[in-house]
A and B are shown apart, each in its own frame.
Chain A
Amino acid sequence: MSGPADPVLEARGLAKRYRRGAWALGGIDLALPAGGITALVGPNAAGKSTLIKTWVGFEKPTRGSVRVAGIDPWKDRSAALAKLGYVPQSPALYDGLSVEDHLDLAGQLRPDFDREYARARLAQLDIPADRGARSLSGGQQAQVALALALGTRAPILLLDEPLASLDPLARREFLHVLTDAVRGDGATALLSSHIVTDVEQACDRLIVLGVGRILLHDTVADAVAVHAISSTEHADAVASFGAPDGSRIWLVRGTGDRPATLDEVVLGYLASGRSTAAAA
């Protein structure tokens, strides 16, 4: 796969197998360009978290390699982490610490942590600095985790399904803060999610991951523009899947009966991945 000249996130032949388990990732080649927000979409167990965790240095590749701004996190974790801000799947904060304490902690752990920047982000959302982390709502906890990641002023942000447990309003606020920060700072963000509507609002690029493989990697605009839906069978269709009314529809590249929505593009590629895996 040809990629951008200076990718900020790379995976080459990346495969990951857990002990006595199935392959979580089965040989991924990926090069992500600098700038914008990329959505990493896929069903549960598609390998989204595993992929992100290999870049963070939490998971060691079974085969292949990953790079963060050209740095292998398993060879120089410190340098790789210097380039990264990370928001975990369930943003766990320290129960015994207040929001302000978390900013102090981040300042202790990372000397160049921009406390004022993080504090300003939280102030915009009216999250009181003196509140204990335990008493914050799920959405507020996610915002604190995001503020901590943004306060690192790292050029690359990795967000591992931070929206999964949030209500729609909290999701929207979270994405607003994220897009605002990424556009303002010229950072690169990779946001894993399985909620396609959120992706459409906030993201520039889309990666569909299924059964441990990349099924689609394109800009959101192109992904929608080049696909269409056909109600009749197409020999060169990406895949067929059930429509909400129970009928069968085909996702095709090119022209069809009507334009495809982003949701349908994602569903089509996930269905194609599933049928390929079943055939294999």
Chain B
Amino acid sequence: MGALTWARLSFAQQRWEILLLGLGAVFAIGLMLWMTSQLLGITAAYPECDFFLDEDQVALPAGCDLVSQSFFESYSNAEIFLRNGWLFGFGVGLIVGIPLVARDIEQGTAHLAWTLSRSRTRWLLRRIVFGFTVVAVLLAGLAIMTDVLGAAMQPNDDLSRSFHFEGNRGVIIVARGILALGVGLLVGAVLGRQLPALLLGLIVTGLLYAAVTFVVGRWNETEAIEAWYDQDLGAPLFVGSGVRLASGERLSMAEFYGDGNEAFQGDDGQMYATAADAEAERDPIGQEYILVIPGERYPEIMARASLVTAGAGVLLMIGAAVVTSRRRPT
């Protein structure tokens, strides 16, 4: 009963932004459902047309050309949405997070709340739980729908074991919302003004997201395996490339060509010193390789990236609690 009353009162304090974001989420989910139905409708109506086959190698049944064109028009629209829609997570987090403390300071209600409640930390914790729930609920629907849309765009793949549209679908969208929630909360608590907090929050979110992406990227590099393009790795995560010399030494592409090497490459990635060697496939000087994480590790890698992202958000929330407990209410 107490939790419901708190939720009702918290909602009343932020009803306009929550309603607006809710409408946005419903609209985005509706749009993705429509795009998904378009794609699934085409693939179900024409099971004989495999839109992802290489037409140079396999002849498609008559009529598939036109259907394929229609499929990829829908695919392009969906891709634009999928590749840009992930920003919604940041927007939801900031818009919900900033007012949690900043509005009380800006409008003077912090005087009331911080004296009625004997513990500011407990007050803030309850505000955070509400904000966290709103962000999670709004973004969970979007996260699920991005997975569904992605699956409709790649009907031949099992997207639970594929890095297709990696970072643009699934639980990472919720994690980004939590990161932005933490940024909004902390920046709002420090500045105590909503509009400046929104502007600074956008910048801080961008910087922090770049930092988190860098950390996760370096972590992934340590676990990547060497492979070559024609290996069957599902849809792997590409994390880098280089050349392994005949001596066994590994060089990045920049290092390899930076040494003044002129190289000719065979179809299998072997590197040769001359065109004649490449033609005859003799005396390779090295082998190009790519660093990938196989698609089967998608759930684990994305869960880790999501935890790091959301974890950064939780750390920021702890920072916001420290600031709130020490600052003036004005």
- Contact check, B9 vs A104: say whether CB atoms are below 8 A apart: yes
> Are A88 and B108 CB-contacts (below 8 A) given A58-B328, A109-B113?
yes
Q: How far is the CA of A96 from the CA of B8 in the complex (A)?
A: 11
Contacts of A148 in B (CB 8 A): 112, 116
Contacts of B12 in A (CB 8 A): 94, 96-97, 101
Nearest CB in chain A: distance from B266 CB, A? 69
| Chain A-chain B contacts (Cβ-Cβ < 8 Å), number | 71
- Contact check, A109 vs B123: say whether CB atoms are below 8 A apart: yes
Nearest to B126 among chain A residues (CB) is A108
> Are A152 and B109 CB-contacts (below 8 A) given A96-B15, A97-B9, A109-B123?
no
Contacts of B46 in A (CB 8 A): none
Contact of A58 among B5, B119, B123, B329 (CB under 8 A): B329
How big is the A interface, by class?
20 to 34
Nearest to A144 among chain B residues (CB) is B112
Contacts of B123 in A (CB 8 A): 109
B115 at the interface (CB under 8 A from A): yes
Contact of B116 among A90, A95, A97, A110 (CB under 8 A): A110
- Contact check, A105 vs B108: say whether CB atoms are below 8 A apart: no
Per-residue contact bits, chain B 108-149, to A (CB 8 Å; 1 contact, 0 not): 110111111111100100100000000000000000000000
Q: How far is the CA of A97 from the CA of B112 in the complex (A)?
A: 13
> Are A92 and B116 CB-contacts (below 8 A) given A58-B329, A97-B12, A97-B13?
no
B70 at the interface (CB under 8 A from A): no
Nearest to A98 among chain B residues (CB) is B12
How big is the B interface, by class?
20 to 34
Q: How far is the CA of A71 from the CA of B5 in the complex (A)?
A: 32
Q: Which of A58, A85, A104, A105 has the most CB of B within 10 A?
A: A105
Nearest CB in chain B: distance from A276 CB, A? 30
- Contact check, A110 vs B117: say whether CB atoms are below 8 A apart: yes
Q: How far is the CA of A113 from the CA of B116 in the complex (A)?
A: 9
- Contact check, B109 vs A94: say whether CB atoms are below 8 A apart: yes
B residues apposed to A, CB below 8 Å: 2, 5-6, 9, 12-15, 107-109, 111-120, 123, 126, 328-329
Could you name 12 residue pairs across A and B whose Cβ atoms are closer than 8 Å?
Answer: A79-B118, A90-B108, A92-B107, A92-B112, A93-B112, A96-B12, A96-B15, A97-B9, A104-B9, A105-B113, A108-B6, A110-B117
